[in-house]
Amino acid sequence: MNKQVVIIHTTSDRQEILEQIAEQLINKSLAACVTIIPSVHSIYRWNNQIEKSTEHILEIKSRLSAIKEVETIIHELHNFSCPQFIVTPVHSMSDDYSNWFWDVTNG
């Protein structure tokens, strides 16, 4: 089995939405850990306008094999019509963390 770990990021202006997403991912063993980083300032273009907003970052530690399921949950629960979904590969982890990660994600 190919055991690849990824970190997935999304953002929202509503922390309670991110908490709902996080709880579903943990309950379904699709993530080992989900971190909510509060109150970051985002600047972006939306509908041809420069927008500025306070958002929260959701950092999801997951399996590469689970990203489609993670993406589906994010789209189902998210309050944005076009939520950020960025996947970054993890190249290395400590042995202890790796053992824990694969245990809690049923990998």
What the chain holds in terms of domains, given with CATH numbers, is: 5-104 (3.30.70.120)
Q: What is the pTM of this model?
A: 0.94
Residue from 4, 37, 21, 5 nearest 70 by CA = 21
pLDDT given for residue 3 in this prediction: 86
Mean pLDDT of residues grouped by 10 in the chain (107 residues)?
A: 89 98 98 98 96 98 97 98 97 95 90
Identify the helix (H) or strand (E) that includes residue 18: helix 15-27
Alpha-carbon separation of residue 44 from 12, 41, 47, 51 (angstroms):
13, 10, 10, 5
Return d(Cα 105, Cα 67) in angstroms, integer: 13
Report the alpha-carbon distance of residue 2 to residue 65 in Å, rounded.
Answer: 9
